[in-house]
Amino acid sequence: MSIITCKAAIAWEAGKDLVVEDIQVLPPGPEEVRLKVDYTGVCHTDAYMLNGHDSEGKFPVVAGHEGAGVVESVGSQVTDVKVGDHVIPLYTAECKECKFCKSGKTNLCQRVRSTQGQGVMPDGTVRFKCRGQDIYHFMGCSTFSQYTVVSKHSVVAVSKEAPKEKACLLGCGITTGYGAATKQQHIKGSQVAIFGVGCVGLAAIQGAKAGGATRIIAIDTNNKKESFAKQHGATDFINPLEIKDKSIQEHLVEITDGGLDYTFDCTGNVGVMRSALEACHKGWGESIIIGVAPAGKEISTRPFQLVTGRVWKGSAFGGVKGKSELPGIVLDYLNKKLDVDSFHTHSRPLAEINEAFHDMHGGDCIRCVVDMK
């Protein structure tokens, strides 16, 4: 296996445009997989890290974590995937052996998590070089490169029938929102509010509908999001900026006879997280934090909100175990149980990856998919 020279979008420092340039991608180590990335989505978490808001952010870096591609080569200890497999990299690994994997209580495998957070492979080194300099990995995926190297625990083979320009979105945004909603045990017949109608929030709306929620209130500051929300099953749409005489949580409690059974924060704004918690029904309402808040931000509420039975919790990658569950979610997409196509609203070639980040903030964009080929 030799070094591959290809194109990658490199972030040299926080807050600056990515630069597309030649990068050297080293061969995979014994427990690693090198893959050709065909498509990558651009998630809000990439923007957050590239803007310097991630306490784990390291530069220079190849960002991107919502990809789909094909295995190019594998290390000697890799048995789960083989050359030619269509794969999705997993920022939430699944080793099936660590305490977390074996607990049956969480999808948060810790096998590679600490090195992943440091931007390096499990052996503490990197597989990217540009202009003679080491370049960090991001979230164990680094899909903004035409080739990338991931741990064998951080990749799963999926059906070759799934178009990769759509399947990539199952590598983060759609799975995150859909999983977070569908994994709530008592969502059937419930009243739900989803704050933030981006890719994650829209997928949570879809999940709430699939789970049988009877009232699904979508909340976004951009009115252009109403049609997307209703198309996916929202029964109501509220722009919180249009609620004048009271807070959004007071309004929600009023119109739902005491509050929501479930609320989901899909914004990353800590003020919104508080509203989402306080909009929950006394005694049993549960608020699930999905959004990622900037470094240094903290959540607060009156403890009385929890004393009186509201539950505050969080969800990463929708609670989905990547190796065990993602191939089935891809099949759900192929079997039309799960809509993915309508989330792919914008496309860009790699040369225009910076514009993909601008697309994100127009009300008409759910996901921009970058063609890496």
Ligand X SMILES: NC(=O)C1=CN([C@@H]2O[C@H](COP(=O)(O)OP(=O)(O)OC[C@H]3O[C@@H](n4cnc5c(N)ncnc54)[C@H](OP(=O)(O)O)[C@@H]3O)[C@@H](O)[C@H]2O)C=CC1
Ligand Y SMILES: N[C@@H](CCC(=O)N[C@@H](CSC=O)C(=O)NCC(=O)O)C(=O)O
- The pair phi, psi for residue 342, each rounded to 5°, is -75, -10
Per-residue x/- track, 225-264, ligand Y (CB under 6 A): ----------------------------------------
CB nearer Zn ion, residue 111 or residue 225: 111
Q: Are 353 and 47 in contact (CB under 8 A)?
A: no
Binding status of residue 317 toward ligand Y by CB under 6 A: yes
Task: Report the catalytic residues.
Answer: 43-45, 65-66, 95, 98, 101, 109, 113, 172, 367
Residue showing tokens 């699939």: 210
How near is the Cβ of 256 to Zn ion at its closest, in Å? 30
Write the single-letter amino acid at 22. D
Contact positions with ligand Y (CB under 6 A) in 57-86: none
Binding status of residue 56 toward ligand Y by CB under 6 A: yes
- Which among 9-17, 53-61, 221-229, 236-244 is the span making contact with ligand Y, rule CB under 6 A? 53-61
Measure Cα distances from 168 to 15, 115, 122, 134, 203 in Å: 25, 24, 24, 27, 14
CB nearer ligand Y, residue 297 or residue 358: 297
Total number of residues shown for the chain:
373
Write the single-letter amino acid at 158. V
Binding status of residue 92 toward ligand Y by CB under 6 A: yes
CB-based burial, 273-299: b 16+ in 10 Å, e otherwise: bbbbbbbbbeeebbbbbbbbbeeeeee
CB nearer ligand Y, residue 98 or residue 316: 316
Helix-helix angle 248-255:270-278, to 10 degrees: 30
Neighbouring C-beta atoms of residue 55, cutoff 10 Å: 10
Q: Which of Zn ion, ligand X, ligand Y, none does residue 264 bind (CB under 5 to 8 Å by kind)?
A: none
Secondary structure element (H or E) that encloses residue 156, with its range: strand 155-157
Pairing of strands 128-130, 19-25: antiparallel
Binding status of residue 364 toward ligand Y by CB under 6 A: no
CB nearer Zn ion, residue 237 or residue 317: 317
Binding status of residue 172 toward ligand Y by CB under 6 A: yes
User: Which residues are at the interface with ligand X (CB under 6 A)?
Assistant: 43-45, 48, 172-173, 176, 195-201, 219-222, 225, 240, 266-269, 272, 290-292, 315-317, 360-361
